[in-house]
Structure 1
Amino acid sequence: GTYSGGGYVYEFRGRLSDMKTNLSALHQLDWIDEKTRAVFIQLTLYNPSIQLLTAVTLLAEFLPTSGIYTTARFEPINFYTFQSILQLVCTIIYIFFIIYFIIVEIRLLFELRLKYFHQFWSLIQFGIIGCSLGSIGVYFWRFQETNRISKLFEQTNGYIYINLQLAVYVNDVLTFLLGYCCFFSMIKFVQLFRFNQRVSLFAETLKYCAKELISFSLMFAIVFMAYLCLFYLLFVSKLSSCSSLLETAQMLFEMTLMKFDASQIMAADAFLGPFCFALFIFLVVFVCLSMFVSIISNGFRHAKDNQKEDQIMLSFMLKKFLRWSGLKKLNQEEIQEERDCRMHSQYFDPIENFPDRMDEFLQALNKIYIDQKIELSRLEKAGV
């Protein structure tokens, strides 16, 4: 659950025997009574060999049903980001690249204005720049928090509890920003590898069927939400997998992937279980997924028919280079295919070349006829 900042605090200090005595006194004073809803145990661990701090939070929640629900959370924090000169140099180079991309994107923004936000790759680049700048700002925030904790640790020699909740929060924000930055950067690689035939087909397929996929997603979301409400309301008291909306959604996704044991639903209700399961399989698995596959297939066919010539030429040049350098050896199928291509180019001409071939044939006949007439006239003059 969620708890406010109120409550009673006890700090463990001194020797182990003193802490045991204090705990006995707290027990005698009913420090934990029937009105207690949660007990938090927070401690900080430090490993000097690897310069690692760990914030530990142990929680015991007293439920209204007389039960106790316990959770534990361990959050390691390493404030020393640059452990080598190479990391520092790479970070500085990355910052210069980000500054360069900012200048480029600002120029594009002034040139395209609102059209800039209509381009997919512009949004990806905007996400990379935003997450990178946010990471730099949060890093300085974490650096400031590190200095505060270091000074406090130096002043107290580690004999008091140092709350690391703010430091953990800042570290989590930095981790999230770096994660999204890596996510956008990996998507950017699709554009960098656009000359690869398969990557290009993948990107072009998504481009051609983007509108259809958005419409399909809206329709699928409506159908899925309808079944989510249906299964949750019908089986919330009968199935543990339908105890919450999130778990019900997980169960429905498993049913969509055909990785769900249908015997649980059938055992929950003799009629509604099989009926709802069959209805979901028919409408979602058969109909919706078939529509999804059809949209992707149509987009793939359209992308393959309109494939750019430079991508084919690049693949051809790369294949020739690998063969010439000996990095790739030809198998029997490729050797036979190359022979067929040579035979095809040697003995086969398209119909467009037929008039030229006829002209060459007529010229050859005319030359033979003229040569024969010249030879006959020469023989007549010689009296043969």
Structure 2
Amino acid sequence: MITRPSSIRPGRLNEAELIRLRQKRLKEIHMWTVIREILMYICFISVLYMVVYSNPYSNAFLQANHLRKYFLNSRQADLDLTEVSTIDKYWQWLGSSFVDNLRAQKWYNGDPPRNLSGFINDKSHRLIGWATMRQLRVKPEQCRIVSTCHADYSFFNEDKHSYTPTWLNETSRMSDSPVEKAFTYQSSDELDTFIYAGTYASYGSGGYVYEFRGGFIDVRNNISRLHALGWIDEKTRAVIIQLTLYNPNVRLFTAVTILAEFLSTGGVFTSARFEPISFDAFTSRSQLLCTIIYMLLVVYFMWIELRSFIELKRKYFYHFWSYVQLGLIVCSWTSVGIYTWRYNECQRIGQLFSETNGYVYINLQFASYVNDLLTYLLGFCCFFGTIQLIRLCRFNPRLCLFVHTLKHSAKELLSFMFMFAIMFMSFLCLFYLLFMSQLPECASLLGTAQMLFEMTLMKFDAHDLSEAAAFLGPFCFSLFIVFVVFICISMFLSIVVDNFRRVRATLDDQSDGIFSFMLERFQRWTGWKKMTEEDMNAERNERLRAGQYYHPADMLSKKVDELLYALDRIYMDQARKF
């Protein structure tokens, strides 16, 4: 009786061919993993850019630039706030420029400003409530040489007493007059204000406040009376003007803060911030859709990071990319929280505006701080998301030359940085002590360090150093150029170039990695590259390994066995019938 034949084994491959086929199989598996990761990341980075760059508004700069020129009045030399250097000039700008621009005046043809109640003089921005002017003062101190002196501002020597007009006698009575009320100290809870960071100091949240309320004539008379009563004197250290504007044409709020710092040395320094804010959570459906997709991808990354943490445990924090992913996740969820708060704030402001017809004071100082925080978070999200492009370069060693070069030169660069820090600190002390009173760049250690870094980049003005000191200026400058620019920078470049040459020589001896394999498969798939005889033999061996190819000699014995098996079945069927 003929039995059923067993499966025929294909021909065996040698050990080298098996290793080569196994590597090819691993490359194919790795290739699809790489493609999936690249496509996922391209989708993520595209959605991230859509979310981040759709948040700013194109009219924000134009609006801030217009208000900056409008209030600072830089086009008139006698009323330019940036050129104010004395108290009298500040009063002149306040009474002749700021007050005139704070109320809508007649049109160019003499017509009255109808339906423009609450608008400023540019006829485009609605004043939310009224503007406030807050002063911060210091306590008088006893000096050894003269009877009294007045120190710089700090939170510890801030004057928090209430006075009668002209600052002569203390009082505890709260007056209803806006002029007399300006001599009464009010806390941050009463004013709804916060700490403000200026150029020379950080100022407290309380102070003596005058509110620009009433008609144009009343406000001008009050300012003249405050000037006559000496509301700003030698104890004044800061005057902060704050107002909130709304432009209905572009639906943008603007928090305006104009600061005048009165230093103990007698100088007056002014600065201003114009921060456009939009409380709209989403401006279009596409932005909402992109935000939803982005947060779903963030949730997916959280799941991946959680699996990695469970698998690696403590070793998870040893990897650099773990901190990048954590930073991206934290910044993303914090941005969602700020978006939610901004939407609620928009609803609150809209309700107050509708209930009071716009005649309510709304301070957007805290809102501007939160909006700045949102901008920082979006910037870090974009940074963390973009820097991960370097991680994708790990699939091709040639694209990771930068990372490999830094790894090979890490010890040498650390030694060089230690030596460079000592050299730079020595020149920092030298320039600061020699030119702290001659050059404005050397007025502080931070400014001196910035000037030296600019000199390292060959951005300097040697004429100022020569005027500051005829001999020491050019001499110290020459020493810095020789030791720091010529020697230290040359050493840094030599270290980097030498390690780059070594890394590149090492990579030349290696294969190009998975990218080359992917490129070869793509060229074959599109027909740009034809298969050689060696490639055909490799593919035949692969099919042989998978059991898909048989040699004709092996196929003959298999066909004979199948024929005998069929005859045996026919014979058994005939015998069963008889």
Written as runs of structure 1 = structure 2, the 5 A alignment for 1:140-159 is 140-159=340-359
8 Å Cα contact 1:196-1:315 kept in structure 2 = no
Q: In 2, Cα distance between the equivalents of 1:310 and 1:18?
A: 79
Q: Kindly indicate which of the two structures has a greater share of residues assigned to helix.
A: 1
Q: Does 1:53 align with 2:253?
A: yes
Distance change >3 Å, CA 181–CA 158, structure 1 → 2: same
Q: In structure 2, give the amino acid aligned to 1:52.
A: L
Match of 1:317 in 2: 519
Q: Does 1:89 align with 2:289?
A: yes
1:267, distance to aligned residue in structure 2 (A): 4.2
8 Å Cα contact 1:13-1:160 kept in structure 2 = no
Q: In structure 2, give the amino acid aligned to 1:185.
A: G
Aligned partner of residue 69 in structure 1, secondary structure: strand
1:207, distance to aligned residue in structure 2 (A): 3.0
Q: In 2, Cα distance between the equivalents of 1:266 and 1:79?
A: 53
Written as runs of structure 1 = structure 2, the 5 A alignment for 1:267-282 is 267-282=467-482
User: Per chain length, whose mean CA-contact separation is higher, i.e. which structure has more relative contact order (CA < 8 Å, sep 6+)?
Assistant: 2
Match of 1:351 in 2: none
Match of 1:226 in 2: 426
Aligned partner of residue 244 in structure 2, secondary structure: strand
Q: In 1, Cα distance between the equivalents of 2:275 and 2:256?
A: 7
Distance change >3 Å, CA 290–CA 33, structure 1 → 2: closer
1:153, distance to aligned residue in structure 2 (A): 2.5
Written as runs of structure 1 = structure 2, the 5 A alignment for 1:336-351 is none
Q: In structure 2, give the amino acid aligned to 1:309.
A: S
Residues 122-144 of structure 1: CA deviation (Å, up to 9, x unaligned)? 22222211221222223223333
Q: In structure 2, give the amino acid aligned to 1:239.
A: L
Match of 2:376 in 1: 176
8 Å Cα contact 1:197-1:312 kept in structure 2 = no
Match of 2:280 in 1: 80
Q: In structure 1, give the amino acid aligned to 2:219.
A: M
Aligned partner of residue 272 in structure 2, secondary structure: strand
Q: In 1, Cα distance between the equivalents of 2:482 and 2:319?
A: 38
Match of 1:208 in 2: 408
Residues 175-216 of structure 1: CA deviation (Å, up to 9, x unaligned)? 111111111111111222444676322232233323433443
State the aligned residue count. Answer: 325
Written as runs of structure 1 = structure 2, the 5 A alignment for 1:278-293 is 278-293=478-493
Q: In structure 2, give the amino acid aligned to 1:88.
A: L
Q: Which runs of 4+ in 1 moved over 6 A?
A: none
Q: In 2, Cα distance between the equivalents of 1:291 and 1:198?
A: 25
8 Å Cα contact 1:197-1:315 kept in structure 2 = no
Distance change >3 Å, CA 130–CA 316, structure 1 → 2: closer
Unaligned runs of 5+ in 2: 1-200, 529-578
Q: Which moved more, 1:209-218 or 1:101-110?
A: 209-218
Question: Given the alignment, which residue of 258, 263, 277 partners 1:63?
Answer: 263
Written as runs of structure 1 = structure 2, the 5 A alignment for 1:230-379 is 230-307=430-507, 308-311=510-513, 314=516, 317=519, 321=523
Aligned partner of residue 162 in structure 1, secondary structure: coil
Q: Does 1:123 align with 2:323?
A: yes
Residues 50-104 of structure 1: CA deviation (Å, up to 9, x unaligned)? 2100000112222334332221110110111311111111111110111111111
Distance change >3 Å, CA 92–CA 22, structure 1 → 2: same
Q: Which moved more, 1:120-129 or 1:142-151?
A: 142-151
Q: In 2, Cα distance between the equivalents of 1:109 and 1:316?
A: 31
Residues 290-323 of structure 1: CA deviation (Å, up to 9, x unaligned)? 221122113312321232523486299379959x
TM-score by length of 2: 0.52
8 Å Cα contact 1:228-1:248 kept in structure 2 = yes
Q: In structure 1, give the amino acid aligned to 2:343.
A: F
Distance change >3 Å, CA 182–CA 155, structure 1 → 2: same
Q: In structure 1, give the amino acid aligned to 2:437.
A: S
1:168, distance to aligned residue in structure 2 (A): 0.7
Residues 201-232 of structure 1: CA deviation (Å, up to 9, x unaligned)? 22322333234334433332232122111110
8 Å Cα contact 1:58-1:72 kept in structure 2 = yes
Match of 1:113 in 2: 313
Distance change >3 Å, CA 217–CA 151, structure 1 → 2: farther
Q: Which moved more, 1:75-84 or 1:237-246?
A: 237-246
Identical columns (%): 58
Cα root mean square deviation, aligned: 2.7
Q: Does 1:36 align with 2:236?
A: yes
8 Å Cα contact 2:281-2:340 kept in structure 1 = no
Q: In 2, Cα distance between the equivalents of 1:130 and 1:216?
A: 35
Q: Which moved more, 1:213-222 or 1:112-121?
A: 213-222
Unaligned runs of 5+ in 1: 327-384
Question: Given the alignment, which residue of 206, 210, 218 partners 1:10?
Answer: 210
Q: In 1, Cα distance between the equivalents of 2:298 and 2:441?
A: 46
Residues 252-281 of structure 1: CA deviation (Å, up to 9, x unaligned)? 112212222334334433443333223222
Match of 2:174 in 1: none
8 Å Cα contact 2:328-2:385 kept in structure 1 = yes
Q: In 1, Cα distance between the equivalents of 2:259 and 2:323?
A: 42
8 Å Cα contact 1:13-1:159 kept in structure 2 = no
Match of 2:399 in 1: 199
Aligned partner of residue 50 in structure 1, secondary structure: coil
Q: In 2, Cα distance between the equivalents of 1:127 and 1:27?
A: 52
8 Å Cα contact 1:52-1:76 kept in structure 2 = yes
1:284, distance to aligned residue in structure 2 (A): 1.4
